[in-house]
Amino acid sequence: MRVTPEAKGTIHAVGLGPGAPDLMSVRADRLVRETQHIAYFRKVGRPGQARSIVDGMLRPDAQELPMEYPITTEIPVADPLYRKTLAAFYAAGATQLRALSEQGHDIAVLCEGDPMFFGSFMHLFTRLSGAAPIRIVPGIAGMAGATAAAGLPLVWGDDTLAVLAGTMPWEKLAERIRQADALVVMKCGRHLTKVRQALSEAGRLADAWLIEYATMPGERVQPLSQHNGSPAPYFSLIVVPGRGRRS
């Protein structure tokens, strides 16, 4: 039987916020509790951060669809094999979701933070747009959780905000830091020493804060200058407040 477009199920990308379950929106809460098909990304052997946030909330007959990354840090990002492997993985995930949608099932894709902000879901979105109905439920991004946890006003007056990734090559990272008013550096992890050095050379180290596990168990806020130099956890970011117009 041919399924009409109207009969297709909707793929809801559900932003869950930065970690604390009570920072989820009312809409996200409803979709997580009501939707039978629940998809999420995770590393092999891990529960997955997004899935952990909704522990105890799923309906008893929920059908879970974990999508396990075939690689994380085993292959350098610049290696063509990295892109090829992940592209095949995302294509397979999109195919699974599309098939469920065509069978008329709604699906909630659990997304840590906001789905459209450095989110893995975006790779599914580009593959599924036009092929299945998609609705996005925005979530509080990790960086908002971090500035709240640290009590740091981020942008003032005419400040611009640069959101950088610790994975960026040194030259580009250092240049953007030199140009920035307020700064957030995501994905610091193993790149913390490089980011710290770039901030120091730009004269911004004294104002930099490292926030680990914002709004999650284990939350930790410390001046970056006092950090012991060990790699930061995956869920960590650096915030440097802007210095704009204040009254």
Ligand X SMILES: C[S@@+](CC[C@H](N)C(=O)[O-])C[C@H]1O[C@@H](n2cnc3c(N)ncnc32)[C@H](O)[C@@H]1O
Minimum CB–partner distance for residue 220 and ligand X (Å): 10
Check residue 19 for interaction with ligand X (CB under 6 A): yes
Which of 106/219 has CB closer to ligand X? 219
Minimum CB–partner distance for residue 216 and ligand X (Å): 6
Which of 38/121 has CB closer to ligand X? 121
Interface residue with ligand X, options 37, 58, 114, 207 (CB under 6 A): 114
Minimum CB–partner distance for residue 87 and ligand X (Å): 17
Which of 118/156 has CB closer to ligand X? 118
Interface residue with ligand X, options 235, 239, 241, 242 (CB under 6 A): 235
Minimum CB–partner distance for residue 48 and ligand X (Å): 12
Which of 52/236 has CB closer to ligand X? 236
Which of 8/49 has CB closer to ligand X? 49
Interface residue with ligand X, options 106, 112, 181, 207 (CB under 6 A): 112
Interface residue with ligand X, options 119, 138, 241, 242 (CB under 6 A): 119
Interface residue with ligand X, options 145, 147, 177, 241 (CB under 6 A): 145
Binders of ligand X among 171-200, rule CB under 6 A?
A: 186-187
| Residue 156 contacts residue 247 (beta carbons within 8 Å) | no
- Cα(42)–Cα(20) distance, rounded to whole angstroms? 18
Cα 54-59-63 angle, rounded to 5 deg: 90
Tokens of 225: 């200058």
The contact mask relative to ligand X for 197-216 (x = CB under 6 A, - = no) is: --------------x-xxxx
The contact mask relative to ligand X for 74-93 (x = CB under 6 A, - = no) is: --------------------
| Total residue count of the chain as it appears in this document | 247
Which residue, among 146, 143, 136, 112, has the nearest Cα to 21 in the 3D structure?
Answer: 112
- Which residues sit at the interface with ligand X, rule CB under 6 A? 18-19, 112-114, 117-119, 141-142, 145-146, 186-187, 211, 213-216, 234-237
